């Protein structure tokens, strides 16, 4: 049974369950056995609720496209009555919910069998997952000496190692795409507001945060987006409606696209040679597929650095508000939060309401500047990260200088200079597992398109997956045990 479980993506497992060749209970047992075997090395799965999962199977699962497939929620957001949350923090360890979020209801209606949550950094801050509430860092299955990324780092590790074929994530500055790159997976960030946020909030981080998924196959991501996309009741805004479906887009040719690639950051900084190679290989592939491919020249006045400082102010204010609401007037015990969280709170205290609104205004202005970029091209190609996955501990969230942690030398934006750009602009973007370093670490390739062009981006990603399939490389890790130690 384990061999069957590990040989298929979520779509394949759902087909086997629908045909009666395996049962949902057998697949859940296989996933739980995988947790028992691999989680001690990875520290990826938290808040295990196998009792809830077995009860759901016995009660009868919805007839959705993923009926019976084992699934994990990120330990941040996706509020669900049966799944407590720590939000990556000792401050909220074991928090319970009185309601189910709309995104969870849609995932449940798709037939997914949720049995736990995956590790996240505290309140989703950072591109690594090393929260003290879980007793240690979450590690990369391709090399446990390296990070699995963040903030959906537990999800990335769980999917790459074969614990589950697909898992929930969320992305406010690259938090789906960073672990996708780090763990050799697909990570698709939809256009702003494509996914529901309610009922807990109308938007996350001034509209920059959005839910998504980590998967090994593009079709799993497409089908899950189809099952969950669309505004929820009372949403303050929503994007242009899809013309069809994500799965349908996979079957449609993208047409000849104007692709511009960058082997430097959009601010002109150098990136790791492995990342340069990943982009150059992808550019040659796309040229061979008939697209118009040329190097990208950032327009004058794009001002990526100004956007990153605005992003930092917004996230600091959001984090401070979150902690204040949790405390409800009580004093904060500094030992219950990470240094970066303490730094975010301290930085937020130096900002006024006018400062916050100015930061939101800068984010919106940047989105308009990025929209103009896509008047002269269809696709912007870059690496997802500026280097292969960092070693565990290098970006540990203990720096109380929040601005330095984000924008300083050796900080998070230097490590991940591409992903937050498209949270700020709201444009769709995807990380695809097209390259591995000489030492065997995944290096994701990042593609972005204009606001609302999710379907065309999915069409291009499908064309790439067909021309340069990655499943065999992923499968070798899964079948070799799911974890490589240094």
Is there a contact between 397 and 339 (Cβ–Cβ < 8 Å)? yes
Spatial CB neighbours of 234, under 8 Å, sequence gap ≥ 6 = 198, 199, 202
Is there a contact between 250 and 218 (Cβ–Cβ < 8 Å)? yes
Alpha carbons 193 and 172: distance in angstroms, whole number: 12
Alpha carbons 177 and 434: distance in angstroms, whole number: 13
Nearest to 197, CA basis, from 84, 101, 305, 86: 101
Nearest to 430, CA basis, from 459, 395, 388: 459
Tokens found for residue 479: 């079948």
Tokens found for residue 397: 């969230």
- HSE-CB at 66 with a 13 A cutoff on CA atoms is 30
| DSSP letter (8 states) at residue 279 | H
Alpha carbons 118 and 74: distance in angstroms, whole number: 5
Q: Residue 369's CB: how many other CB atoms inside 10 A?
A: 17
Alpha carbons 384 and 301: distance in angstroms, whole number: 23
- The residues that are catalytic are 74, 151, 175
Nearest to 447, CA basis, from 311, 216, 285: 285
Alpha carbons 204 and 234: distance in angstroms, whole number: 15
Q: What angle do CA 81, 214, 190 make, to 5 degrees?
A: 90
Alpha carbons 225 and 418: distance in angstroms, whole number: 23
| DSSP letter (8 states) at residue 290 | T
Spatial CB neighbours of 327, under 8 Å, sequence gap ≥ 6 = none
| DSSP letter (8 states) at residue 92 | G
Alpha carbons 70 and 51: distance in angstroms, whole number: 13
Alpha carbons 93 and 9: distance in angstroms, whole number: 32
H or E stretch at 212: strand 210-215
Nearest to 377, CA basis, from 213, 246, 259: 259
H or E stretch at 359: helix 353-373
């Amino acid at each position: 049974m384990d061999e069957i479980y590990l040989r298929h993506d979520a779509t394949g497992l759902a087909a086997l369950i629908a045909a009666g060749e395996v049962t949902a209970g057998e697949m859940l047992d296989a996933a739980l056995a995988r947790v028992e075997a691999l989680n001690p090395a990875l520290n990826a799965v938290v808040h295990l609720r196998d009792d809830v999962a077995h009860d759901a199977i016995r009660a009868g699962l919805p007839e959705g496209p993923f009926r019976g497939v084992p699934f994990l929620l990120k330990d941040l957001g996706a509020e669900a009555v049966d799944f407590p949350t720590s939000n990556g923090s000792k401050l909220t360890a074991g928090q319970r919910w009185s309601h189910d979020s709309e995104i969870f209801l849609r995932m449940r209606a798709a037939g997914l069998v949720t049995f736990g949550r995956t590790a996240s950094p505290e309140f989703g801050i950072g591109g690594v997952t090393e929260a003290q509430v879980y007793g240690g860092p979450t590690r990369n299955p391709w090399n446990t000496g390296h990070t699995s990324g963040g903030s959906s780092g537990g999800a990335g590790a769980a999917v790459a190692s074969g614990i589950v074929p697909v898992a929930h994530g969320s992305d406010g500055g690259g938090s789906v795409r960073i672990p996708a790159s780090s763990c050799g997976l697909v990570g698709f960030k939809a256009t702003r507001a494509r996914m529901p946020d309610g009922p807990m909030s109308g938007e996350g981080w001034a509209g920059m945060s959005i839910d998504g998924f980590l998967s090994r196959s593009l079709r799993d991501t497409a089908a899950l987006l189809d099952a969950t996309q669309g505004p929820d009741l009372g949403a303050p805004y929503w994007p242009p409606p899809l013309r069809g479906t994500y799965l349908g887009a996979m079957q449609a040719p993208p047409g000849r696209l104007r692709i511009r690639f960058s082997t430097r950051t959009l601010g002109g900084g150098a990136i790791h040679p492995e990342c340069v190679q990943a982009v150059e290989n992808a550019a040659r592939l796309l040229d061979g597929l008939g697209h118009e491919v040329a190097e990208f020249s950032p327009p004058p006045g794009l001002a990526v650095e100004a956007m990153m400082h605005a992003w930092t102010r917004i996230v600091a204010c959001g984090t401070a508000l979150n902690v204040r609401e949790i405390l409800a007037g009580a004093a904060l015990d500094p030992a219950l939060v990470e240094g970066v969280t303490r730094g975010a709170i301290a930085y937020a205290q130096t900002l006024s309401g006018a400062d916050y609104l100015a930061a939101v205004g800068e984010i919106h202005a940047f989105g308009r500047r990025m929209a103009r970029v896509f008047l002269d091209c269809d696709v912007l190609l870059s690496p997802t990260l500026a280097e292969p996955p960092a070693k565990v501990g290098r970006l540990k969230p203990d720096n109380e200088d929040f601005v330095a942690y984000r924008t300083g030398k050796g900080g998070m934006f230097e490590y991940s200079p591409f992903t937050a750009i498209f949270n700020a602009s709201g444009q769709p973007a995807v990380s695809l597992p097209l390259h591995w370093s000489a030492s065997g670490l995944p290096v994701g390739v990042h593609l972005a398109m204009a606001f609302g062009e999710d379907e065309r981006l999915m069409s291009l990603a499908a064309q790439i997956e067909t021309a340069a399939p990655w499943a065999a490389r992923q499968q070798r890790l899964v079948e070799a045990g799911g974890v490589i130690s240094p």
